[in-house]
């Protein structure tokens, strides 16, 4: 169905279910309980989970299939964001034109960067992409300030022309919308002590994430994807067969850049404030960590990696000493103080330390990322259920 085999179609259905029921899945604890701190079902975080999932899916098409490690993908995220915000300032606050132009501009920019960077491979390619990203950041931050807004960034104003929209009342901030439906609109559902939030902006981003995930499956399973795997396996041997691998790697780079542009456009649709910080090198490093943490070269791995990092960034970073004191209040004072002293460096502002430890453990013990961990757990359950013995107690010989 949809051009997918049974396994891939099942994986797509899982992603659809997770995206559709995220408000329930991410809010497992009742409001007001001690564990409600770990609920993640609020619109801003849910939007970031799926948007950075798109970003990581696109990066995985380049890195996971070809093995080319780019440290400059944040440049395409930023370029897509700037293209989207200018579309909103000049044409309309409808998010559709903004998202389309962000993908197109990011694709054109990635074509230029890829055409130059792919003249080299290995660490030299990575350094070239990093150089382009830092140059883009410098241009946006201090050189092209009339276009980018420099340090303060850009946001829609009521004085902007917006050819297709009517005049906005003086002093009112224009809001991103989808044919009149504002992105921040939504409603809450109360079920006992649980509160579930449904947001229009999240579901728009979730639909596009599902489409992006489906396209990535088709790319992975296509002859084009097979050529990219051949590049990763042994590009030199592939070139010796007479096949020119450069058009394939450039196409993968451009597709990956367009995914990043889509993520940048969606970020603007959800939050119409754009700054140069989106193009900084740390943003490029973050998507690398997302992909490796989830499982480079796998289909769902980058989505899992993006979800884990954004969850830790928004949930673990909010746990402070006061919350720890509430958690350990039932313990004797000496033990309570000891536990707080031991745990506190790993939460709040120290959440990066926890992320670093998790990343080290995954790289050392699960080179295939979280997907490999899930496969190992599933394999353990399968081995427990299967019994190699025959009814008379004899084992079946291996073939």
The answer on pLDDT for 226 being more than 80 is yes
- Residues 128-187 have pLDDT tens digits of 999 999 999 999 999 999 999 988 899 998 888 889 887 778 878 889 999 989 999 988
User: How much is the pLDDT for 354?
Assistant: 92
Place 239 in a pLDDT band, splitting at 50, 70 and 90.
confident
Chain-wide mean pLDDT for the chain? 90
User: How much is the pLDDT for 387?
Assistant: 54
User: How much is the pLDDT for 395?
Assistant: 47
The answer on pLDDT for 94 being more than 60 is yes
- Residues 365-389 have pLDDT tens digits of 998 999 999 889 888 888 877 655 5
- Residues 290-312 have pLDDT tens digits of 999 999 999 999 999 999 999 99
- Residues 41-86 have pLDDT tens digits of 899 999 999 999 999 999 999 999 999 999 999 999 999 999 999 9
Task: Determine the Cα–Cα distance for residues 102 and 82; give it in Å rounded to an integer.
Answer: 8
Q: Considering the entire predicted model, what is its pTM?
A: 0.92
- Residues 10-19 have pLDDT tens digits of 999 999 999 9
Long-range contacts of 369-377 (CB under 8 A, 24+ apart): 369/292, 369/293, 369/294, 369/295, 369/296, 369/298, 369/301, 369/304, 369/305, 370/293, 370/294, 370/295, 370/301, 370/304, 370/305, 370/308, 371/294, 371/295, 371/298, 371/300, 371/301, 371/304, 372/295
């Amino acid at each position: 169905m949809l051009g997918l085999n049974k396994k891939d179609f099942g994986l797509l259905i899982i992603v659809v279910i997770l995206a559709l029921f995220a408000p329930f899945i991410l809010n497992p604890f009742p409001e007001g309980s001690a564990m409600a701190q770990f609920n993640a079902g609020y619109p801003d975080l849910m939007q970031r989970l799926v948007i950075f999932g798109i970003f990581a899916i696109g990066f995985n098409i380049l890195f996971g299939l070809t093995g080319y490690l780019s440290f400059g993908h944040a440049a395409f995220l930023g370029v897509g964001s700037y293209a989207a915000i200018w579309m909103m300032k000049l044409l309309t606050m409808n998010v559709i034109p903004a998202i389309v132009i962000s993908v197109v501009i990011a694709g054109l920019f990635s074509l230029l960067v890829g055409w130059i960077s792919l003249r080299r491979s290995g660490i030299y390619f990575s350094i070239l992409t990093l150089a382009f990203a830092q140059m883009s950041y410098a241009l946006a931050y201090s050189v092209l300030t009339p276009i980018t807004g420099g340090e303060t960034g850009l946001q829609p104003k009521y004085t902007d022309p917006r050819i297709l929209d009517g005049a906005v009342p003086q002093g009112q901030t224009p809001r991103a919308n989808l044919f009149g439906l504002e992105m921040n609109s939504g409603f809450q559902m109360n079920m006992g002590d649980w509160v579930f939030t449904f947001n229009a902006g999240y579901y728009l981003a979730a639909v596009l994430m599902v489409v992006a995930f489906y396209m990535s499956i088709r790319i992975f399973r296509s002859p084009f994807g097979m050529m990219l795997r051949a590049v990763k396996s042994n590009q030199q041997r592939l070139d010796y067969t007479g096949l020119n691998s450069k058009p394939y790697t450039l196409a993968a780079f451009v597709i990956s850049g367009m995914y990043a542009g889509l993520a940048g456009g969606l970020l603007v649709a959800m939050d119409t404030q754009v700054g140069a910080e989106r193009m900084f090198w740390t943003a490029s490093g973050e998507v690398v960590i997302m992909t490796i943490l989830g499982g480079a070269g796998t289909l769902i791995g980058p989505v899992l990696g993006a979800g884990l990092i954004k969850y830790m960034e928004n949930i673990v970073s909010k746990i402070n000493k006061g919350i720890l004191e509430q958690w350990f209040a039932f313990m004797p004072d000496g033990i309570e103080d000891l536990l707080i002293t031991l745990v506190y460096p790993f939460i709040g502002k120290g959440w990066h330390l926890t992320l670093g430890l998790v990343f080290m453990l995954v790289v050392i013990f699960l080179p295939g990322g979280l997907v490999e961990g899930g496969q190992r757990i599933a394999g353990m359950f399968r081995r427990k259920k299967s019994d190699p013995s025959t009814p008379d107690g004899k084992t079946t010989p291996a073939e």
